[in-house]
Amino acid sequence: MEILIEKYNVRNKKQLVYLSGKKQSENYPIRYTLHPHFGFLFLVEGIENNHFIWELLNSNATYIWTFERHSDIELQFKRIENIINVIRACGREKYKSAYINGGQDNDLVFRVIKHEHIGSDIIDEFPKWKDRLNEQLT
């Protein structure tokens, strides 16, 4: 991942490095997606919940789905794959709207953390992004 990030000057490099180094579960490998965009799927195992975090290369947001920890992890991975397929088919904005309106995946928690001022030479918003992320992880 580090070679890819450096070679292509990825704008959300700090987020990817933090997720892969500090948060990713040691029990499961990082997965990746090719469509709709190349990205990484991280698993963060909290005390109460499992959090699947989807970070696309050069994206404007971090996507988080939360499941109760007592459920089967492989079924959770399958569910996330299905959700990403829905996003692939309809788009991120339609998925977010469907979730907000209660028509999509209302049996789990979904959140988006926007990347503010990413790539700015003046403002480093990474600490705020990191705080917002860590508030979500239980």
pLDDT tens track for 77-129: 999 999 999 999 999 999 999 999 998 898 999 999 998 766 556 677 899 99
pLDDT band at 9 (very low <50, low <70, confident <90, very high): confident
Q: The tokens 């001022």 sit on which residue?
A: 117
Residue type at 27 in one-letter notation: N
> How far is Cα 75 from Cα 71, in angstroms, rounded to an integer?
8
Whether the predicted model's global pTM rises above the 0.85 cut: yes
pLDDT of residue 120: 59
